Amino acid sequence: MSFHKYILFFLLLFSKQLLFGQFIFTKQYTYKDGLPSNEINCIYKDSRNILWIGTRYGVYVKDMSEFKMIKRFQEKQFNKISSIVEDGGKNIWFASYGQGLLKFSGKNFSVINKENGLVSNRVKGLFYDKDFIYVATQGGVSIIDIKNNKIYNPSFVKKDNLIFEALSFFKYKNKIYVSTSDHGVLEVSLNNLKLVNPYSRINFSFLHNEDFFLTSESGLTKIPINDFLLNKSTYKNYQYPTFRDYAYSDDEKSIYATGFFSATGNGMVAEIKSDTIINQTEKFKITSEYISNILNDSPRKILYIGTTDQGLYEVHLDHFLDFTKINNEKIIGIYNYNNSQYFLSPFGLYLKKNNQTKIIKKREEFFRYVHQKRGDHQKIKTENNKNFIEIDFNLPEDKLRFYKVIGHYNCIWVATNLGIFQLNLEGEFVDYLPYRTYQFAYFNNQFIQVNPQGGILIFDNIKEFKYKHFSASLPNVPRDVSTISQNDKAVFFGSNLDGLFKYEDGKFISYYLNNEFKENKIKQIKCISNNQIMVATELAKVFILDINGDHLKINKEYSIRDYGGINISKIDKFGDNILIGTTNALLVFNHDNFFTVNEEQGFLNKNMYALDYDGKYAYLGVENGYYTINLDRVTKKRYKKNEIIITSVKINDKSLGRERYYWFNLVDRYLDLKNDENEISLGFSVKNTYFPKNYKFRYRLNPNEPWSEYFSNNLIYFHNLKYGRYHVELEITDICNDDKQIIDFIDFNIAEPFYLNIYFLIILTLSIVFILYQYINSKVETIRRFNDLKINQLEEKNKEERKRLKLENQLSEIKMSALQSQMNPHFIFNVLSSIQYYILDNDIDNALNSLGRFSHLIRQMLNISTRNEISLSEEIEFLKLYVEVENFRWMNKVSFDVETTCGIDIYNVKIPPMLLQPLVENAFVHAFDQNSVNPQIILKFSFDENLLKIVVEDNGKGFSNKKRNEKLYESKALRIINERLRLFNQDKGEYITISFEKSRTRVYLLLRFK
């Protein structure tokens, strides 16, 4: 029997299991996703959930949705990876066919090859058990004692002219065995290899429970392990490709094996259960014919399948979404009834029942039935009737278009451009009606048809052509209807221009015109109960509206673009799940939870034309078939805590050293940076993700700062950061289920600039203080020296000035004394002349009185004449005394008055002594005679700026004696007074003036105030 016949036989035998199996979703990774090529040699997932991929070009790790090469493999040119294993210390061992082994501890690499004890560098496989690494090579077996760092190369008996090629190991009853290509199966010890079965031409072998499997170019062989070790021939042979790898599934209780024929390919993924083998290649959506290896990620129910020509496949065994093609046709309508699904496509009507899908009416059958039944409804006259769209019965068959399918009264109703068809549940035609419509419904035994050209037709009997027309010209009647839905009470219409309408109890109402719901551009509506309706608008909003009679109330509102959707294509509600189909994803709302189904999860055909539900699964009609969705699985919250690792750090575009990482993760999450190290990029990865492209991220620099915008790439860049401490938090959002997680991402401190450093500030302050001190000290010293020089100069100058002033004062005193000496004799002579007059006149009393007063005057004169300055008060007292003496001669006829202005302190103002006496004397001598009437001398004192102004005024002869007075002005006494004023004022100016009037004379003196 040929291989293809075996495949067909087993496919037919287990087709029922395939049909009832779980949903499968397969993703493919190729060189476009970072792999060096599409040739995969081995796959391994370690205890840290790191997925390792061995290729002929080196080792790659899966980083979310991409594969990245470990650069040190490239640096060491370690390639042709044949096997990967992890030891008890969690070190990873890599085998190369040609370069020996490479051990990776998370930080460091160490090479083990033939030069340091390995039996051969051509390594085929690795096996770990109890601190020993078993190495299968072309040339023998090596055993590495990890604890003692020793290598053992057990001896063996070699067959003549045959290369000893060890392939794989297995363990049974605490003993290790090795399978070889031409030397049978041998028991392994540290010293030798002992032959236990000479079975030859082995390509691969593995042990599962008590069954031992061997593969060769002739197929698969199975035998109980005990029989094999006892050399019994209880083999079971299967004509299958040469299996090269296997994985066991606890969930399925089965073995998955992969392989292909070397010459022809014809690869497969086989599921081995007991004695049956099922070809799952097509079910797993594997298109390669060269399937080489497999890994079962059992906790996540994912198979990784490697090929030599099409890269790596990731097979999700328990997915919530499945895609089914129906002849690659678009599904434009779905109707579920009694565990059966009806699918309407452009080529006919399909029925899925008991997991079997078949076409029950082809398009050509619909076309033929139109022409068979066309003449049966003579009462239906739609031609030339403005309430109907006229049907063109001359259209060819390929122009027949299907619009919609609904169920009513155990029948299927299909709307087309040639009319409406009624079929029974088995797909047989019941009737045809020549009504062309895009939107229609059955409600309370009435057929409701939307007239695309305007208005609504309501038929009481559609076959008898009895209807009532509601014109679109009426304000409450809908037109431009894009969608229709009904509950048990009413029919609702959505207009893409005029909003939402309701038909109930024979009348229409417009919720838009009634101001109950002011959205006018309706895209989809769906009655979800008698009390609620769901409405989608062309502006990507969905409303859940509560219905209360003719009133509406918004219960919930969804802005689809806030959830990643763009434009709405379909809406519905199944149980607690609200489904919203958009042009880029399917959105599912379950109470307060939100879920997304998108391309990353296998939702590739996103243009939805139909949506229905059978109580367990939702069905979505799309371009090339339909999706089946298990909503319970979609809405099941996983609450999985994500593990985030920081895989790269660049500071000012310079990467941190490798010593900072351990297993690709930054060890110390605190960075102490210099002030100029403020350009930071951080690469990170979310480990062990199901759908890595469905994550979005945002960060904040400190907990009290705002979040960044969302981003999807796993790289953060900080530009031109200010100095200070940063505690960066990262928020990870899984848009599949809107799970959010906030983690402490990294801490770093950027030093303040040097000029803000406390030590720098202290040194700077001390330096400034020192410089200022030195500067001030120098300045003070300079000023002191300058002042000393100035002082010395001033002292010398003052000394000279004092000498000069002393001489001047002496000279002034001499001059004053001389002047006084010139004035006093004149005054004395005048007084004595007066006394003589009394004596000659024999007026003894007056003479004695005058003499007494004169002696008093002389004593006063002697007292003040020796002084340079006297007070104004003393001068006034002296003058009063003098006037008394003179009045003896005038018989007290001359009055003497003194006037001072406010502010003059006569006790402190200083003037030269006896300065005014000559002027008063001149008044007695020259101003008055015996004929003078009421003679008067007035002495006035006032301030004029900083000068003391003195006026000596008399009311004597005045102007009539001008010539005499001029002579008087030139008298010796006046010259003496003027000279004394100059000396007192220390100025050469004129300080005495005389004013002559007809009967009055005034003498003005000016003195500097002292």
By mean pLDDT, which of 134-138, 372-376, 762-766, 929-933 is the weakest?
929-933
Digit-coded pLDDT (tens) for 350-361: 999 988 999 999
**Residue 852, pLDDT above cutoff 90:** no
Residue 1 is predicted with a pLDDT of 40
Superfamily for the 644-751 domain: Immunoglobulins (2.60.40.10)
pLDDT band for position 76 (cuts 50, 70, 90): confident
Task: Please determine, for residue 739, whether its predicted confidence score (pLDDT) is greater than 70.
Answer: yes
- Are 649 and 679 in contact, with CB atoms under 8 Å apart? no
pLDDT of residue 965: 46
The type of residue at 305 is I
SS3 assignment, position 214: strand
Across 232-241, 379-388, 618-627, 713-722, least confident range = 379-388
Higher-pLDDT residue of 474, 758: 474
- Amino acid 592: pLDDT: 86
Domains of the chain, by residue range, sit at: 1-33+268-319, 37-267, 439-455+462-563, 644-751, 761-1008
Given this model, what pLDDT does residue 131 score? Answer: 94
Residue 741: pLDDT band with limits 50, 70, 90 = very high
Q: What pLDDT sits at residue 77?
A: 82
Q: What is the CATH number of domain 439-455+462-563?
A: 2.130.10.10
Does an H or E element contain 834, and which?
helix 758-840
Quote the pLDDT of residue 4: 41
Please say if the pLDDT value at position 386 is more than 90.
Answer: no
Lowest-confidence region among 45-54, 69-78, 369-378, 730-739: 69-78
Average of pLDDT values for 563-582? 91
Give the full edge-to-edge strand order of the sheet including 140-145.
123-129, 132-137, 140-145, 150-152
Residue 82 neighbours by CB under 8 Å, 6+ apart: 41, 42, 54, 95, 96, 97, 123, 124, 125
Q: Residue range 184-206: average pLDDT?
A: 94
Q: What is the mean pLDDT of residues 77-91?
A: 94
pLDDT digits (tens, 9 = 90+) for 921-930: 888 878 887 7
Confidence of residue 975 (pLDDT cuts 50, 70, 90): confident
As a whole number of angstroms, the distance between CA 16 and CA 2 comes to 23
Confidence of residue 9 (pLDDT cuts 50, 70, 90): very low
Name the nearest CA neighbour of 191 among 145, 143, 154. 154
- Predicted confidence at residue 827, as pLDDT, reads 59
Mean predicted confidence (pLDDT) in 500-505: 95
Between 399 and 803, name the one with better pLDDT. Answer: 399
Candidate ranges 119-133, 442-456, 941-955; pick with highest mean pLDDT: 119-133
Task: Report the percent of the chain where pLDDT is more than 70.
Answer: 91
Local structure of 725: helix, strand or coil: strand
**Range from 222-226, 249-253, 470-474, 577-581 carrying the lowest mean pLDDT:** 249-253
Q: What is the CATH number of domain 37-267?
A: 2.130.10.10
In the prediction, which pLDDT does 867 show? 83
Q: What pLDDT does 819 receive?
A: 46
pLDDT above 50 (res 455): yes
Residue 150 scores a pLDDT above 60: yes
Closest CA to 30 of 39, 38, 22: 38
pLDDT confidence bin for 19, thresholds 50/70/90: very low
pLDDT for the residue 729: 97
Reply yes or no on whether the pLDDT at 961 is more than 60.
no
What CA–CA distance (Å, rounded) separates 818 from 487? 143
Task: Please state, rounded to an integer, the average pLDDT across all residues of the chain.
Answer: 87
Domain 439-455+462-563 matches domain 644-751 at the CATH topology level = no
Assigned CATH class of 761-1008:
alpha beta
Quick one: pLDDT band at residue 115, thresholds 50, 70, 90? very high
pLDDT at 823: 47
What is the crossing angle of helices 872-890 and 844-865, to 10°? 160
Q: CA–CA separation, 727 vs 405, rounded Å?
A: 59
Give the residue from 431, 439, 398 showing the smallest Cα distance to 412: 431
pTM of the shown model:
0.73
DSSP string for 358-397: EEEEEHHHHHHHHHHHGGG-TT---TT-TTSPPP-TT--G
